[in-house]
Amino acid sequence: MIFPVIFAAIGMIMLIVFQYYRIKGCTPWTTVLKSFTSLGFMCVAVCALATNGFGKENARYCAFVILALLFGLLGDIWLDLKFTHPECGIPYTYAGFMVFLFGHLVYDAGLISRFYVKGHPMYIIVPVLISLAFCVVVLFTEDLMKVKYGKFKAIVAAYSPVVISISAFSGSFALLHNFKEIPLNIFFVASVLFLFSDLILNGTYFGDGKNRPVDVIVNHTSYYLAQYAIALSLCFLR
């Protein structure tokens, strides 16, 4: 487990360096720093897989997680490019939303394939209903949250149920397994951090005056803690 931990430690150092320069302004260099910070969680996950040499069932789940992390890496780069190249902000924003949407769906597929127990359909149905309800809440509370989605309302509508789905599914399956699956418990906590990060990002992207240094720091810290925790959770698979 030593190599995943080493890469996680390096990633946290990169996160501090990235955020130090990010709060000073968006430049091509901050995008480069962010890409290396994101590359770290990919390295953690791959090392976990290589070190533990999982059997077929866990290897399949690891493949889903690594693919989802790859989508996260791409999303991190494209969403940061919207700040360094604002003239291309719209396509970069759409690209970022889309890859994160696909990434969350891949996480869902991995969770279902590894942790769902046949014969318990309510543990699938309830998370789906929660995710759809969250979408409705997001779309009809723009004024309450003081945000305006404008031309991005359609992609927000598609993304919002997916972003909460990983929390809903991981929490549901953790309950199904009586919270005895350590990697699943870690994933659930990480998914809540992921959701918290996206809620802050919602204000940063679509609200006024919500792109303060504290918003940037809390957003990125919670996001990277989530992704690194998900990657490290692979070390606990048995």
Question: What length is written for the chain?
Answer: 238
Helix (H, G, I), strand (E, B) or coil at 85: coil
Three-state DSSP string of 101-147? HHHHHHHHHHHHHHHCCCCCCHHHHHHHHHHHHHHHHHHCCHHHHCE
81-100 pLDDT, tens digit per residue, is 988 888 888 999 999 999 99
176-215 pLDDT, tens digit per residue, is 999 999 999 999 999 999 999 998 988 888 877 667 889 8
In 3D space, the residue among 113, 132, 110 whose CA is nearest the CA of residue 64 turns out to be: 110
Higher pLDDT, 49 or 188: 188
State how many domains the chain has: 1
Cα(19)–Cα(38) distance, rounded to whole angstroms? 13
CA dihedral 90, 191, 171, 132 (to 10 degrees): -10
113-172 pLDDT, tens digit per residue, is 999 999 999 999 999 999 999 888 888 888 788 888 888 889 998 999 999 999 999 999
pLDDT-based confidence at 54, cuts 50/70/90? Answer: low
Residue ranges making up the domain that contains 209 = 2-236
Res 230 pLDDT > 80: yes
Q: What is the rounded average pLDDT of the residues 17-43?
A: 93
pLDDT-based confidence at 234, cuts 50/70/90? Answer: very high
